[in-house]
Structure 1
Amino acid sequence: MTSKVLARIAETMAHAPTSRRSVLAMILQDPQRVLDESFEQLAHRAGSSVPTVMRTCRDLGYPGLREFKLALAQELAVSGSPLHRRVQLHDGAQEVISKVIRGAATAVSGVQAQLGVAEVEAAADAIVRASRVDCYSVGVTSSFMASDMQARLFRLGLVSNAYLDIHLQLVSAATLGTQGVVFAISHVGGMPSLIEAVDVAHSQGATVIALTQQETELAKHADIVLGIHVPEDPIMHVGTEAYLVHLTVIEIVTVLVAQRLGDLAVKRLGGVREVLSTRGVDMRHYARLDWDTAAAVNESKLKLNERKLK
């Protein structure tokens, strides 16, 4: 595997102090594992300290561990297997299962370190106060997320819509007032049509919440940014790990919204569940259908009709 980051590590080892050399050797041994670990875990495995890990990152030209991990993840994604960011072509089924699950778990657990408490609280407050929440998205994955967000808010009794068509997004944005909220979802965050719809909503005085990566064009046009970064996927522009991370953020926001609605949310959710379960739409137990009995009944009816005709 050729990598500028790994090559730099190998070069740095030649003249690094002994304490830092152990950290560098550990990274070279299993660079993918490093992406999953914290300062403390890395220091423990290397038999070193957190300050030493920090200094090692700086020796390599990165301000801190986060920046180093980002560069390493990007190069591993490019130089690794074309099948998956973690899985190699020669891996067996057990390794595939382990690596894919570990990657998903790491991505979800990384949400806590990236998501700002103030931002999610501000998003929940804006949604609860809103006269209408319109969810915008571009792309297959984000469109599913927008529809999911709308369904969650709708069940809580809030006025919400999901618009996936750029024309409808513009119509929505033009009709939102100062109490309206746009919840825009885009991992890449650079689609011009989405930015335009957000700008129109802004011009009407609406609040814009963006679920995207930090520093994207969408983030720059939003009032509240739920910024989440996930390393690139070698196959899909927006991979499974980004999908899981967005879904986790949506879950967090909607739970906070439900908390703010309090007893009203509990009553609404209970009412929806009761209606679905008593109308045969969302039942947990279904009546047994005995095909043999049904066939026998139909045959008896057929014979009876034949006798009547005679």
Structure 2
Amino acid sequence: MSQIDPPPASLSDSNSDILRAISAGLGIMSSGQRRIAAMILKDPHWAMQSNVKELAARAGVSAPTIVRFARTVGCEGLRDLKLKLAAALAVGAPYLHRSVTPDDTPADVARNVVGSVTAVLAEWQRQLAPADIERAAEAMHHARRVDCFGTGATSNFLAQDMQARLFRLGIVTNAFSDAHLQLVAAATQTREDVLLAISFVGRMPALLEAVAVAKERGATIIALTRTHTPLAALADIVLGIDVPRDATMRVGTDAYVVQLLMIEILMVIIGLKRGPSTISRLGEIHQILQTHAVDSDDPSLLHWGWRRVLRGEDADPASKADG
């Protein structure tokens, strides 16, 4: 069969609960599709975490048959099927965590939570678009200025973290969470600038308004968000963070960890682009922090500082020898 069958109305109409849709459609499925359906219904957690080859091997079908099955039950493809499976499992599970049951021991909780995040990360890694990451890194590397926008507790923290990392690499950068300051920053952007907008939700009105202003000014818009959001639609480059929604949190642990990893990947690539001088710069910063910072690995520095404070003396680094 060379073409993908359109989803039957009886199935696509009920795709709000994918497990119910699969069960309801068993009677009109082919034998191969029934084997896939039985496999998913028997172990939906495993199905959500497995790739197309693993699914095909267990069901005894070809990889294209897995994709056709996803379309048959009203999904856009395998990734959409997995996201709907994750949503269905989250709805049916305790609100503390989709992978934890009330009878789990602390050891079970640790294993299940870590295993869930690991599975999500593996699937997210398979979905990464290296070309888009490269384009984003290149744009920030050459930018006159990079403004990082975040709206909400998590996005604001991530924007601040991004700004701190870019600053260490020698890039002129700012981080804004206030809607008014975001508009001011957007109004002063040019074609030489980059706006990095961070939002897992991807539909915060004030953020979208500021991004639209920067886009009108000619800035390159990079969005760290889910791929099918209004923010993604505005962006020139989308760094996708499509992971299952949390049952109760707007930005759950999966989304938080994936965004941190994307920032880390970007920083390493940008650092490599900026060459040996940047590596030397980072080494100098590390040395200064080790020598002067109160959180130095050398505890004598901290103790020396506190001794001088307790004596009521000025903390003169040149006088360290008296400690």
Matched with 1:139 is 152
Unaligned runs of 5+ in 1: 299-310
Matched with 1:87 is 100
Secondary structure, counterpart of 1:182 in structure 2: strand
Aligned counterparts of 1:8 and 1:31: Cα–Cα separation in 2? 13
Alignment of 1:269-308 (within 5 A): 269-287=282-300
Matched with 1:31 is 44
Matched with 2:133 is 120
Does the 8 Å CA contact 1:6/1:28 hold for their aligned counterparts? yes
Secondary structure, counterpart of 2:299 in structure 1: coil
Higher relative contact order (CA 8 A, sep 6+): 1
Q: Which amino acid aligns with 2:192?
A: Q
Give the Å deviation of 1:140.
Answer: 0.8
Cα deviations across residues 175-223 of structure 1 (Å, max 9, x unaligned)? 2222111111000111111111112222322211110111211111112
2:213 to 180, 200, 203: 200
2:222 to 197, 201, 209: 209
Does the 8 Å CA contact 2:52/2:66 hold for their aligned counterparts? yes
Alignment of 1:27-106 (within 5 A): 27-106=40-119
Aligned counterparts of 2:251 and 2:140: Cα–Cα separation in 1? 26
Matched with 1:160 is 173
Is 1:223 the counterpart of 2:241 in the alignment? Answer: no
Q: Which amino acid aligns with 1:274?
A: Q
Cα deviations across residues 68-106 of structure 1 (Å, max 9, x unaligned)? 112222222222211112222232222211221112112
Aligned counterparts of 1:183 and 1:61: Cα–Cα separation in 2? 34
Give the Å deviation of 1:17.
Answer: 4.2
Is 1:108 the counterpart of 2:136 in the alignment? Answer: no
Aligned counterparts of 2:248 and 2:121: Cα–Cα separation in 1? 20
Deviates more, 1:57-66 or 1:229-238: 57-66
Unaligned runs of 5+ in 2: 1-15, 312-323
Q: Matched residues, percent identical?
A: 46
Secondary structure, counterpart of 1:28 in structure 2: helix
TM norm structure 1? 0.86
Larger radius of gyration: 1
1:267 to 280, 305, 323: 280
Matched with 1:303 is none
Aligned counterparts of 2:89 and 2:227: Cα–Cα separation in 1? 21
Aligned counterparts of 1:61 and 1:202: Cα–Cα separation in 2? 35
Does the 8 Å CA contact 1:108/1:248 hold for their aligned counterparts? no
TM norm structure 2? 0.83
Task: Provide the alpha-carbon RMSD of the alignment.
Answer: 2.3
Matched with 2:262 is 249
Q: Which amino acid aligns with 2:178?
A: D
Matched with 2:190 is 177
Q: Which amino acid aligns with 1:285?
A: D
Does the 8 Å CA contact 2:155/2:199 hold for their aligned counterparts? yes
Secondary structure, counterpart of 2:250 in structure 1: coil
Is 1:189 the counterpart of 2:202 in the alignment? Answer: yes
